[in-house]
Structure 1
Amino acid sequence: MTTLFINRNFPDKKALVTTSGDITYSTLLKNVERYARLLTSKDTSKVAIFSENRPEWIYTFYAALQNKAIPVPIDFMAAAEDVAYILDDCHPEWLFISAAMMDHLPEIELKSKHKPRVMVFEEIAPDDSVKETEWLGPEDNGATAVIIYTSGTTGSPKGVMLSFTNLLENISAVINSKIFIPERQVMIFLPLHHVFPLVGSMMTPLYVGASIAMAPSMQSADLLKTFGDNEVGVFLGVPRLYELMYRGIKAKIDKSPVAKTLLWFVLKTRWRSLGRKIFNKVHQSFGGHLQYMIAGGAALNREVGTFFYGIGFDIMEGFGMTEAAPMITFPRPGKIKIGSTGQALPGLTIEIREGEIVAKGPGIMKGYYNRPEETAETVKNGWLYTGDLGYLDKDGYLFITGRKKEIIVLPNGKNINPVELESKLENFSPAIKEAGVTLYKEMLHAVIFPDASFLTENNIEDQQAWFRDQVITPFNAGVTSYKRIMQFTLIKSELPRTRLSKLQ
C-alpha cells in the first residue's frame, strides 16, 4: 500500500504561511506537479537543492520524489568548495537554486568537475493550468528517499542515504505521540538541508495535514514576528537558540525581585501550571500558542531546559543523528525528564557497548553513498555505532555523557570535522608547520606551531598580528561561516600526538 506523503484531506487549508502569501494544500500539490514536469527525463536520478528556505525548496523536494529521483539538499551558507565537493561526489543531473545563490555559481562551477543543469526558481514560468499531482508516495519504501551530507571522521563529508522507511519511522513516532496534529501549527525556522528540520518542520506537518509558518530568515526579528503573526504550537530549534532566548528572558526577570522570587518558587515546587499563569507574558511573546519546544543537534543546557519546562512549555530534547533519520530517542509528552533525551523510538533497540550508544532498527540509514568501507565501520550487523557515550536508567531513559568520536558539535548544532580544518590550515600557509583545532569557550580555536625558518626568512617580528592578518583572516574568508577560526594560539613546540600520529 502506497503511503500518502502529502495530506489530501484539507485541500483549502493553508499548508504554508509565508510573508509573500499563503499556499493551500491544493496549491501546494499543483506546484509539486508543475516542478515535477521539469524533471520528466528518465536520466534524472538526483536533484540538488541549493537555496534558503522557501516554498520552491519544498516543491522541488517532492517533485524529485515524484519522479523517483533523489533530492540532495545543500547548505545554502556553504562555501563554494563544499558545494562543489557534493556535486562531484553524487553527480546530480539538476541543481535547483534561488536567485540569491546565483552570485556563488561561478566559483562553484570553477571548483566543480561535474556540471549539472541549473534551474533558478525565479526563472520558472507559472502555469495555472496544472492540476494537483496524482503522486501519493513511493512504490518501494525501501528505496533511497534523500541523500544528506554530514561531516565524517575521514576529512570530507559523507552522503547519508535515507530510505522512505527510515523517514516514515520518525514521522510515525512523533505523530503517534500526538505532538503533530492537523490543528497544531508548526514553524519552519532551521535550514531544511538538515534532516532534523526536514523531517520535523516540513515532512511531518505536511504528512499529518498541519499548517506551516515559514520564517523568512533566521534573524531574531523575523523569528519573533513569525511567532507574533501566527499560532505556532510546535517549534524546532537548536540548544544555542534556546539558550539565547533563556538569557534574554531571564535578564528581564532578574531586574524584578518579585519576579525573581516567583520564578524560584515555581521551579522549586515544579508547579508548572502556576508558572504558566505567572509568566504568561513569556508565552505571549511566542504568540500565545506555543506548547512544544523541540531541541536537537546538540546537548541542551539543563538550566535552560529546567526554566522553560518550569514555566509551562514542553521542552523536549531528543538524541539522534543524520544516520538515524534523525531520532534515536525522544521524550513523550507528559513523560519528560530534564537532562535525559527520552526513550527509544518505537521499533528501535538501544544498547550501551563499552560506554558507547549503539542502536538498531528500521530507522537506521541504508549507508553512506559510494562509501561501503565507511558504512561498515559505522553500521555493524545492523547496529549503528553513534560515537556518543551515555547510559540508560531503569526506565529506559537515555542520558548522554560525552562523545567518543572526534567530531566537534558547535552550540548551534553544526558538525565540524577538526581533521578537515587542520589539513586546510596546514596547506593554507607555509608559515604553519602544524595546526590543531578544538572547541574552546563555544568557539573554534586553532593551536598553531609556526615554521620558525619561514618567519625568520620573512623578517616577521609581530607574529600574533601577522598570523591574524595574513593567515586567519583570509583563511576564514574562504570557508563556510560556521567553520571559521575565532581564536588562535601560537605555540613553540610540536603538537602532542599518539603513536598513530593522531592529535591528542
Structure 2
Amino acid sequence: MGESSQKSSGKSKFKTLAHLIDALAEEGRKTAINALRKDDERQISRSRLREKVHQTAAALVESGVSKGQAVVLWAENSPQWIIACLAILRSGGRVVPLDVQLDRKALERILEDCDPVLLVTNAALHDRLKELSCDIPRTLFLDHEDSKDEDSLWSLQGGADLPEIGADDEATMFYTSGTTGPPKGVPLTHGNLIFQINRILATDLTRPDDRVLLPLPLHHVYPFVIGMFLPLAAKIPIILPYAMTGPQILRALRQAQVSVICGVPRLYRALYDAINQRIGNKSERLARIFTCLVQECARINQKVGWNPGKALFYPLRRRLGPHLRLLASGGSPLAPEMARFFEGLGWQVAIGYGLTETAPLLTLNPPDSGRYDSVGKAISGVQLKLDLDKGENEGEGEVLALGPNVFRGYYKMEEKSKEAFTSEGWFRTGDLGSIDDQGYLRLSGRASTLIVTESGKNINPEEVEEAYSQSSAIKEIGVLEDEGHLVALIVPETSDEEDQREHIKQALEEVAKDLPSYWQVTDFSLTSRSLPRTRLGKIRRHLLEEQYHKAQSGEKQQESKGAMALEDMSGEDRSLLVNSAARAVWDWLVERYAEKGLTPDTRLQGDLGIDSLEWLTVTVEVGERTGIELEEEVIAEVETVRDLLERVAAEEEEGSAGFSGEPLENPEEALSDEQKRWLQPGGAVMGFLRKTLYALNRLVVKNYFHVEVAGLENLPEGHFVLAPNHLSNLDAPVIAAILPKKALENTWWGGWTGAVFDNFLLKTLSHVANVVPVDPRRAVISSLAFGCEVLRHERNLVWFPEGQRSPDGQLRPFKAGIGMVLSRYPAPVVPVSIDGTFEVLPRGKFWPRRGRIRVVFGTARNPEEIGDAEETSQERAKKIARQLQEDVEGL
C-alpha cells in the first residue's frame, strides 16, 4: 500500500465549536457577518453575534433542547441562519442543516430518520411543510428577529445555563447529497469539526484583513466549516451576497471588498467561461493572444515565483473584484487548466479535497504549489494510504483515510458503516487515486462510478465528460454504461439544428479523434433538460440511466404533456424559482405555452417561436406581473427560459422596477429620464444646428446623386408616418433631402441602435437630427414607446419596419412593431419604396459612389381601416405590417 502522512504542527487553538463561539467576544468590535441586502447591507459585530447566540441558545435549553437532540435547520443562507445554527450548537443540540430544494420524498425520509425535536425554517417554506405526510416536529420561524409571535425562534424566552460540551459530543448531522443513491446521515462531533478549523488556521491561508465571500448553501459541510466557521475563528468577516446570482455575487465582490471566495468548481467554471467569452466576442485574434499571455504568466510564476499577470491583468481583476486575491475551491476537483488560468490572471488558487464523512478536508493544495493535477497533500494530523487491490493501473488504489476528522459511522446504518471502514479502522473514501513520492494525491475517479467496458477497461466518467464538453455543440454530457458499452446522455448547446442528431454525432467524432479508443461513445441520447445534479454541481449518476433510456426510446419526459415538474428540476433551477419574480414569470410561461413541454432549457425563439412582437407580449407580462422592464442588453442575452428567469430574478433583487400598466397606453412611463431627453427638440441653438444639418444634407444628396422622386403629393397635410424599405445607411439622408421643409421640421426618425448610435459622434448627430433609438429585436417596449410618444405629440415619424438594412437588397418581412404603434396611435401611413441606395452604398462600405436613386411615395393608408375591431392587438398589428409590406412591394 502507498501511504502519505504529515506530522501535526502547532497546538490546538479551540477545543470545541462551543469554545470557538464563546471566543467571539475577543476583538468583539470587528465585523463577524456582513450581509448585503437589496439597497444596503447589515453588519453584525463579533460581540453582538456572541450575545445573540448565547441568548437564543439559553432560550433553546429552556424550551427543552438537550445535548445530542436533533434540530433541523431548513432555510436559505442568512444572518439569522448563522445565528440559529450557532445557538443550536451552543445549546448542545445536534444541528441538521437541510437543502431548501429537497424534494418531498427526500425531506420526509430525513425528518423520519433524524428524529428532530425542533424544526427551524422560514415562512416561505411553510406551505411545503403542509404537503408532507410524515410527522412534523414543533416548527419555529427565523424570518424576523424582532418578531414576538409565538412561532418565532426569537420569541423564545429563558435564561437557562448553557451546558459544558466535549469534543466527543455530536455537533451536526449532514445528509450526503445522494449522487449515487438515497442520502445517508453523517454525524460529526465537535472534535471532528474543530480539528479541521485548527489545522486550516495553522496554514496561514487567511490574512487578518481578509473578507470571505460565502456564495454556497450552508447545508453542505464544506461551506459550513470553511466558509462559516473558519472566518469566525480567524476573526475575519463573512460576506453573504444578497442572492446567489451572478450580478449579486459581482456586487458583493466590489461593494464588500471581498478578498477570498469559498467556491466550488462549477462557480469557477462560470467565471472562467464568462471571461473567455467576453474576450472572444471582441475578436478571435485577441482571444488567442489573451490565452497565450495568461498561460505564459502562469508558467513564469511557477518557474521563478514572480507573476507578471498581477500587473498585466489588473484592469480585468479590478472590474470583477479589486480586492480579490484567493479562490478557494472544494467539493470536487478543479480542472487543472482553470487553476492555471486563474493563476495566470494574478489570483491565487487553493484546492481542497475531502468528503462529508471527513468533516470535510483530507488534503490541501496551497497557492503557488504548481501541482494543479493534484488535490494536494494530506493536512497535518491526517494519514492517507491506498488500497492497491482496488486500482486498475499501477500505483493506483482506493484512497483510505485515518484522522481525528473522520466520522464514526452512518446514522442508523450499521451495515453501511461496517462497509465504510477497513478492519484496521481506515475509512474507505470510495475515490481512486495515486500518491507520489512527495505526498501529493492525484484522484482518478470514484470507485463506485467507474465504468467497466466489455474489454475490461476501467473508465472514469468525469474525465470522459470533461473531454467531450470541450465541443461547442455540447452543453452538458453525462456518460454511463449500457450493456457493456460507453454511452452518453447529451444536452445540445442549440435546439434549432436541422439534423441535430447528426450534428452531435459529428461533434463526438471530432473530439474522439484525440481520445483513447475505449473512451469513444458508442451511442447517445439527446434531451433538452438539464442533467440531474446536486446543489454543488455533481451529476446524480443513479438518475442518469433512467433518463437515458427514456430519451433513447423516444419518450419526451412529459415534454409534450406539460411543463417540467419542480421536483424533476436540478437543485439550482429549483433554487432560482424561490425568487418570487422568477416564479411569477415561470407560472405565466407554463400557462401560456401549456403544450410546449416547458423546461428551463427551452429556447425562447427556437422552441417557443418568440419573435419581436411576441417579445413585446413577454416583456409587457413581465412588467405587469413583476414591475420589471427588461433592458436592451438583458433581452439581447436571453436565449432560454432559464436565462429569462435568472435576469428577472437579478433585476428584482437589484430593486429594478419599470413602468406600471400597458406601455403603449402610457408610453412616457416606459421611458427613463435619459430616454425622454431624445424626444426634446431643444432650444434655439439646437434648432439652428438642425436646420444647418438638414441644409447640408440636402445640398450633398442633390448634387452627388441623381435622385428621382415620385408621389410626393401623397403626403398628408397633418402629421403622418413614413414606412420605407431599408437598403442602406443612405436611406434616411435621401428621404430627409426630398421631404418638404415644413414637414421635415416636424419629423422624427427611428434609428437602429446598432448603426446610428454606435459612437459619440453619431449619437450627437442623431440627437440634432431628431433620431430616436429603436431596436425591435431587443428593447421592444422602449422602442415602441418612442414611436408612440412621437405620434402622441402629432409629429411625423419615419420608421423602417424591416428593423435593419436588407443584407441582399431584397425586401425583408416587416416587423409588427409599426402595427402596434399605429393601432394604438392611428396616423396616416405612407408606404415608401427606395431603389438604388443598396448599389450606391452597400453594407461594409464607408464612402458612397455616384449613382441613380429612385424614391416613390405611395398612397397614404388609414390604419384604422386595416383589420377587424374584434381582433386582438397582436393580430391587428400583424395585419397592418403585412399590408404595408404589400404596399411597398407594389411600388
Which residue number corresponds to residue 560 of structure 2? Answer: 469
Counterpart of 1:296?
Answer: 330
Task: Compare CA radii of gyration and give the structure with the larger one.
Answer: 2
Q: Deviations over 1:450-495 (max 9, x none)?
A: 99xxxxxxxxxxx544753349x55x433462499999xxxxxxxx
1:66/1:268 CA distance change after superposition, 3 Å: closer
Q: Cα distance 1:124–1:94, how it changes in 2: closer, same or farther (>3 A)?
A: farther
Question: Letter of the aligned partner of 1:234 in structure 2?
Answer: V
Q: How much has 1:300 moved relative to structure 2?
A: 1.2
Q: 2:198 aligns with which of 172, 180, 193?
A: 172
Deviation sequence 1:181-233 (CA, Å, 0-9, x none): 43211111100000000001101111221111111221001100000111222
Post-superposition CA distance 1:237-277 (Å, at most 9, x none): 11111111111112333433654553343244347521110
Q: Which amino acid aligns with 2:237?
A: S
Note if 1:83 corresponds to 2:107: yes
The residue aligned with 2:138 is 117
Structure 2 counterpart of 1:353: 387
- Identify which of 335, 339, 345 aligns with 1:305: 339
Equivalent residue, structure 1, for 2:548: 446
Choose 65-74 or 31-40, whichever is displaced more. 31-40
Q: 1:238–1:412: 8 Å Cα contact kept in structure 2? A: no
Match of 1:340 in 2: 374
Give the conservation status (yes or no) of the 8 Å contact 1:316–1:336: no
What is the deviation of 1:34?
Answer: 3.2
Shift of 1:9: 1.5
* Equivalence for 1:395: 438
Report the counterpart of residue 317 of structure 1 in structure 2: 351
Match of 2:76 in 1: 52
Partner residue, 1:377: 419
C-alpha distance in structure 1 between counterparts of 2:72 and 2:434, whole Å? 38
Which of residues 296, 299, 316 is equivalent to 1:265?
A: 296
Residue 60 of structure 2 corresponds to residue 39 of structure 1: yes
Residue matched to 2:851: none
Partner SS, residue 343 of structure 2: helix
Are 2:447 and 1:404 aligned? yes
* Correspondence for 2:118: 94
Cα deviation code 1:377-423 (max 9, x no counterpart) = 1122321111111111111011111111139985963455544x47x
Q: Which residue of 2 aligns with 1:427?
A: none
Judged with a 3 Å threshold, the aligned counterparts in structure 2 of structure 1 residues 134 and 8 are, in CA distance, closer, same or farther, namely farther
Distance across 2 between alignment mates of 1:350 and 1:364: 12
Indicate if the aligned counterparts of 1:10 and 1:25 stay in contact, CA closer than 8 A: yes
**Which amino acid is 1:170 matched to?**
Q
Q: Which shows bigger deviation, 165-174 or 193-202? A: 165-174
- Structure 1 stretch displaced more, 383-392 or 330-339: 330-339
Aligned-partner SS, 1:115 = coil
CA distance in 2, matches of 1:323, 1:183: 32
Change in Cα spacing, 1:466 to 1:315, as seen in structure 2 (3 Å) is closer
Tell whether the 8 Å contact from 2:534 to 2:571 is kept in structure 1 after alignment.
no
Distance 1:138 1:374, change over 3 A: farther
Give, in whole Å, the separation in 1 of the partners of 2:156 and 2:70: 24
The residue that corresponds to 1:413 in the other structure is 536
Contact 2:118 2:140 in 1 (8 A): yes
Tell me the matched-pair count. 449
2:278 counterpart residue number = 252
| Alpha-carbon separation, structure 2, partners of 1:329 and 1:264 | 26
Establish whether residue 157 from structure 1 lines up as the match of residue 183 from structure 2.
Answer: yes
State the distance in 1 between where 2:33 and 2:407 align.
29
- Counterpart in 1 of 2:708? none
Which runs of 5 or more residues in structure 1 are unaligned? 423-435, 438-444, 452-462, 488-504
- Select the structure that is richer in strand: 1
Deviations 1:23-48 (A, max 9, x none): 11121112212322441234541110
1:469 maps to a residue whose letter is: S
Where do 1:414-433 residues align within 5 Å?
414-415=537-538, 417-419=540-542, 421=543
1:141 aligns with 2:167: yes
- Provide the C-alpha distance between the structure 1 equivalents of 2:404 and 2:249, rounded to a whole number of angstroms: 35
Residue type of the partner of 1:186? V
C-alpha contact 1:148 1:193 (8 A) present in aligned 2: yes
Alignment match, 1:14: 31
Q: Distance in 2 between matches of 1:394 and 1:250?
A: 36
Question: What TM-score results when the alignment is normalised by the length of structure 1?
Answer: 0.81
Query: What do the CA deviations read for 1:94-152 (whole angstroms, capped 9, x no partner)?
Result: 11112222232211xx332x321111112554699999x99999631111110000045
**What letter is aligned with 1:385?**
R
Q: Aligned-pair distance for 1:154? A: 7.8
Q: Is the 8 A contact 2:177 2:534 kept in 1?
A: no
State the distance in 1 between where 2:325 and 2:558 align. Answer: 48
* 1:5 partner letter: L
Q: Distance in 2 between matches of 1:318 and 1:388?
A: 14
Give the drift of 1:161. 0.7
Equivalent pairs: percent with the same residue? Answer: 30
> How far apart, in 2, do the equivalents of 1:53 and 1:403 lie?
30
Secondary structure in 2 matching 1:5: helix
Q: Counterpart of 1:498?
A: none
Bigger share in helix: 2
**1 CA distance for matches of 2:328 and 2:163?**
27
Aligned equivalents of 2:552 and 2:438: distance in 1? 52
Are the equivalent residues in 2 in contact too, given 1:71–1:146 (CA < 8 A)? Answer: yes
Q: Secondary structure at the match of 2:560?
A: helix
RMSD: 3.2
- Are the counterparts in 2 of residues 146 and 161 from structure 1 also a CA contact under 8 Å? yes
Query: What is the distance in 2 between the residues matched to 1:240 and 1:321?
Result: 17
Tell me: CA distance 1:293–1:54, structure 2 relative to 1, closer, same or farther (3 Å): same
Q: After superposing the two structures, state which structure 1 stretch, 90-99 or 149-158, moved more.
A: 149-158
What letter is aligned with 2:258? V
* Structure 2 counterpart of 1:413, one-letter code: L
Q: How far is the alpha carbon of 1:157 from its aligned partner?
A: 0.9
| Amino acid corresponding to residue 325 of structure 1 in structure 2 | A
Match of 2:363 among 329, 332, 337: 329
Partner-residue secondary structure (3-state), 2:243:
coil
Q: Is the 8 A contact 1:146 1:163 kept in 2?
A: yes
8 Å contact kept, 1:188–1:213: yes
Q: Does 1:362 align with 2:404?
A: yes
Deviation at 1:318, TM superposition (A): 1.5
* Separation in structure 2 between the aligned mates of residue 299 and residue 469 of structure 1, nearest angstrom: 38
Q: Are 1:231 and 2:252 an aligned pair?
A: no
CA contact (8 A) 2:329 2:349 kept: yes
Instruction: Give secondary structure in 2 for the equivalent of 1:192.
Output: coil
TM-score normalised by the chain length of structure 2: 0.47
Alpha-carbon spacing, 1:5–1:296, altered in 2? closer, same or farther (3 Å): same
Gaps of 5+ in 2: 1-13, 149-153, 389-396, 451-460, 463-532, 574-598, 602-891
Q: Which amino acid aligns with 1:305?
A: A
Q: Secondary structure at the match of 1:284?
A: helix
State the AA in 1 paired with 2:431.
D
Structure 1 residues 383 and 134, CA gap change in structure 2 (3 angstroms): farther
